[in-house]
Structure 1
Amino acid sequence: MSAPHLPKVAGIDPEVPVSTQTAAPLREIPAAPGAFIQDRLAGWVSDLTTLHELTERLASTATLDAALNELLHAGAALVGARRGLLVLERAGTTTPSTTLGLGLGPADLGHLETVERSATALGRVLDGPPEAADARDGIATPDLLGDQDLDPCHREVATRLGYAASYALPLASEAAGRLGGAVWFYDEPGEPSEKQRHLVGLYARYATEHLARLTELERARADIATVAEELLPSRLPRIPGVRLAARHRTGPQGGGDWYDALPLPDHALGLAVGSVGGSGPSAMAAMGRLRASLRAYAVMEGEDPVAVLSDLELLLRLTEPARTATALFAYCEPAARKVVLAGAGHTPPLVLGDRRCEYVETTLSAPLGMLACWEAPSVEFSPAPGETVLLYTDGLLRRTGDAMDRAFARLHSAAASVPKADRHDPAAVTDHVLRAMLPDGLDRSDSTEDVVVLAAHFD
C-alpha cells in the first residue's frame, strides 16, 4: 500500500524530506564577531587611562618623600592591597636609606625589621641578581600562613600584623639600575592577577626613573646647602652686652642671601645682612666674595658704615659690573648701646622691646651696582636694655607670598606677638617670628627664596 501524497503548497517541495529533529528556540541573539574585540579594546583603554593618571600624579611630585608616598598608594591601588612597605637603598649598600610604610605604624615597621631579610619576599627582591625573573616580575606569596617552609619569626610577625599574603616588586630600570623595592600586604590569601602585575610593573619602572631623578636632585640640593653654610659664619661671636642668634636657609637652586657678625676693635660689633642678585653656584660664589670683602672693609673702617658700603659698591662695580646686590651694615657699641647703620636697597631693621616694636627709619637708597657712585646717609639709634634688633633679607617677606606692604605688616605683627617671656632670648625671638611668618617651615622645597634672620639682643 503506497504512502499518501502530501498536498502541493506554493513554495514547498513535497519531495524534500522533513527533519524529525526540532531546533531549539532562539533565546538570545548571538554577539557580533567584533564585540569581543571591542570589549578587549575598552579594557585596554581603561587600563591605560588609569596608568596615565597615576603616572601624571607621580610626575607632579617635586620631592622624594612625596614621590615615595604616591608610589606606595598607587601600587596598592593597582594590586588591590591595603598596606605596603617601601625601601630605598644606596648603591653598593644593604642598609636602607629610606623606609616608608603604608597603613603601618612605627611599631609595625619595628616588628617587620625583626624578620631576617632573606626570609621575606622584599629581601629576596632586593638581594637577588638583577637578571633573575623574580627581580623583574616580582614575588607573589599567595598564602603565607599556609607555607610550611615559612620562617617562624616571619610567621609570628604576619600573624601579629594580620596579613596573609604579599606581593613584592623591585624598583629597578635599565637606566637607573635597582634603587630598592616595595611590598604590598593582603589581609586574606590571594595574589594580583596577570593584568595587575603587568600594570604595576610598568608603573614601577616609570617610578624608578622618576625616583632616580629626584634622588639626584636631593643630593644636589644637599651639596648646595652645604656649600652655602660653609660660606657663612660657622659660629657667632660673643661680645659683652649683646647676644646673637641667626637662622638661614638656602633655596633649592642656591642663592645669594648672607649674613655676618664679626668682633671689631674696642669691643665693638659689626652686623651685616645682604643679598646678591641671581641664584645658583655663580650667585653663591659672588656672595662669598662680597661677604669676605665686607669683613675686610669693616675691620678697617667699620665705625663708618657708609664708607664700608661705598667701598663694597666700588668693588662690585669694578669686578662684577653685571651684578647687583643689596646690603646693610650696622656698627654696634654694646656698652654705649649705640648702633650706626647704613643700607643699600635693603629692608630696614626692626626693633622689638617691652615698650616698642617698630621699624628703623633708614634712608631710601638704590642697591649696590645700580648707580655710578653709591652713597647714602647713615642712621643712628639707641636700643634700650632688653631690646632686640632684627635684621633679615627680603626672602623672608617674599616667601610669605604676600605683597610687600602686607608682608611688612605681617612681620611687624609676628614680632609684636613674641611672648614677653621669650623677648630676652634672641633665638626664641627668631624662631617665633619664623613660625608666624612661615607656618610651613623654612625647609619648604617649592620656594626658591633664601631666608636670613639675624637677631641681636642688647642686655
Structure 2
Amino acid sequence: MPRKRPQDDDELLARLRSLTAQARERAEYQRSQVELAVALQRGMLPRDLPDTPRVHLAVRYAPATYGLNVGGDWYDAFTLPDGRIGLSIGDVQGHNIEAAAFMGQVRAGLRALASVSGEPGELLARTNDLLISLGNDLFATCTFMRLDPETGTLESARAGHIPVVWATADGKSGIGEDEGGPPLGIQPGTEYPVTRFRLTAGGMFVLLTDGVVEGPSMSLEEGLEQVVRLAGIAAVAGLQAHALAAAVIKGAEQVGHEDDAAVLVVGHDDPDRTA
C-alpha cells in the first residue's frame, strides 16, 4: 500500500488546525453570549425588597443548568405610591439574550405603570397593550399581586402563569384558585380578572415560575403539590419566609429542569409564635 506523501500529511494537519480554531471561536462566542445574557438578567433583578413591619419577603433564583440556556424568569417587589406592596413574578418565552432583555422590558413596564395604577387587573391589561405596541414577537407569563400590609388583603391577577401556593398557621394549605387570562404580549385589549386572598398571621404565599415545579422528572401537578406540602410544614412550624424559599428552590432540583427557577415568598408574623 502506498504511503501518504508528507505534503498530504501537512495539508491534513493544516485542515484540522483550521477546524479546531473555528470550533474554539464558536465556543468562545457562545460562552460570551451566555455570560452577557446572565449578567443582563441578574442586573435587572431587584437588589432590595421592601422592609415592612410584620411582612417578610424572601426570594431565591437558580439560573438554567443545561447547556447554553438562559431564560427570562424574574421576580420583583416594590412599594406602591399608596403604601401597599406590589409583587410580581414571571417568565418570558425563550432561552437567549433576547428573552433576558425582554424580561427587563416587562419588569420595567410593570413598575412604571404601577405608579399610575396598582390595581392588578388594570396593570396587567396596560402592560399587555404596551408590550404589543413594542412589536416584539416574544410573550411573557406573569402574576401580579398587591398586598395591603395593614389588612393582609392580597389582590391578584394572573396572565398565563402558574397559580400561587398558600398556607396558614392552622395547617391548611393549597393552590390558589383564580381564573387568570392569556400571557402578556399576545392579544390586545385583554382583561385580567382579579382574585382576592387573605394573608393571615403566620401564613405564607408562594409565587414561583414553572422551572421550580415542572420538568422531565416531575409533572406540574406533582411539583405544585410538593410546594403545597413544604408551605404547609413551614407555616405550622412557624418558619419564616426565607426558610421556605430555600426549601422550595432546593426541591426544584428534583424536577430535572433545564429552565430558570424563581421563588418569591410572602410571610406574615404571628405575634404569639416564634420562628
State the TM-score, normalizing by the size of structure 1: 0.50
Instruction: For residue 212 of structure 1, report the CA deviation from its aligned partner.
Output: 9.2
Task: Name the SS of the counterpart of 1:412 in structure 2.
Answer: helix
Per-residue displacement from partner, 1:22-78 (whole Å, max 9, x unpaired)? xxxxxxxxxxxxxxxxxxxxxxxxxxxxxxxxxxxxxxxxxxxxxxxxxxxxxxxxx
Equivalence map 1:206-355=2 (5 Å):
220-251=33-64, 252-302=68-118, 304-355=119-170
Conservation of the 8 A alpha-carbon contact between 2:148 and 2:154: yes
Give the equivalent residue in structure 1 for 2:265.
455
- CA RMSD, 1 decimal: 2.8
CA 1:438/1:416 → structure 2, altered by over 3 Å: closer, same or farther?
A: farther
Instruction: For residue 373 of structure 1, report the CA deviation from its aligned partner.
Output: 2.0
Task: Name the SS of the counterpart of 2:130 in structure 1.
Answer: helix
For 2:211 and 2:189, locate their aligned partners in 1 and report how far apart those are by CA, in whole Å: 26
Conservation of the 8 A alpha-carbon contact between 2:212 and 2:248: no
Conservation of the 8 A alpha-carbon contact between 1:386 and 1:457: yes
Task: Name the SS of the counterpart of 1:295 in structure 2.
Answer: helix
Conservation of the 8 A alpha-carbon contact between 2:92 and 2:140: yes
2:81 aligned partner, one-letter code: P
5+ residue gaps, structure 1: 1-172, 177-205
Instruction: For residue 343 of structure 1, report the CA deviation from its aligned partner.
Output: 0.6
Higher mean Cα deviation, 426-435 or 365-374? 365-374
Task: Name the SS of the counterpart of 1:300 in structure 2.
Answer: coil
For 1:436 and 1:306, locate their aligned partners in 2 and report how far apart those are by CA, in whole Å: 31
Query: Of 359, 364, 371, which residue of structure 1 is paired with 2:175?
Result: 359
Instruction: For residue 398 of structure 1, report the CA deviation from its aligned partner.
Output: 2.3
Conservation of the 8 A alpha-carbon contact between 1:342 and 1:379: yes
Per-residue displacement from partner, 1:99-126 (whole Å, max 9, x unpaired)? xxxxxxxxxxxxxxxxxxxxxxxxxxxx
Conservation of the 8 A alpha-carbon contact between 2:45 and 2:74: yes
For 2:94 and 2:163, locate their aligned partners in 1 and report how far apart those are by CA, in whole Å: 21
Conservation of the 8 A alpha-carbon contact between 1:400 and 1:407: no
Task: Name the SS of the counterpart of 1:346 in structure 2.
Answer: coil
Conservation of the 8 A alpha-carbon contact between 2:57 and 2:264: yes
For 2:57 and 2:235, locate their aligned partners in 1 and report how far apart those are by CA, in whole Å: 18
For 2:187 and 2:22, locate their aligned partners in 1 and report how far apart those are by CA, in whole Å: 49
Conservation of the 8 A alpha-carbon contact between 1:305 and 1:378: yes
Conservation of the 8 A alpha-carbon contact between 1:398 and 1:449: no
For 1:259 and 1:419, locate their aligned partners in 2 and report how far apart those are by CA, in whole Å: 22
Conservation of the 8 A alpha-carbon contact between 1:331 and 1:340: yes
State the TM-score, normalizing by the size of structure 2: 0.80
Task: Name the SS of the counterpart of 1:455 in structure 2.
Answer: strand
Instruction: For residue 255 of structure 1, report the CA deviation from its aligned partner.
Output: 1.2
For 2:54 and 2:83, locate their aligned partners in 1 and report how far apart those are by CA, in whole Å: 10
Instruction: For residue 417 of structure 1, report the CA deviation from its aligned partner.
Output: 3.9
For 2:149 and 2:45, locate their aligned partners in 1 and report how far apart those are by CA, in whole Å: 23
For 1:234 and 1:226, locate their aligned partners in 2 and report how far apart those are by CA, in whole Å: 14
Give the equivalent residue in structure 1 for 2:198.
382
Give the equivalent residue in structure 2 for 1:138.
none
Instruction: For residue 414 of structure 1, report the CA deviation from its aligned partner.
Output: 3.3
Which structure would you say has the larger Rg?
1
Conservation of the 8 A alpha-carbon contact between 1:411 and 1:437: no
- Alignment identity in percent? 28
CA 1:258/1:320 → structure 2, altered by over 3 Å: closer, same or farther?
A: farther
Instruction: For residue 321 of structure 1, report the CA deviation from its aligned partner.
Output: 4.8
Instruction: For residue 411 of structure 1, report the CA deviation from its aligned partner.
Output: 2.6
For 2:18 and 2:206, locate their aligned partners in 1 and report how far apart those are by CA, in whole Å: 50
Conservation of the 8 A alpha-carbon contact between 1:239 and 1:269: no
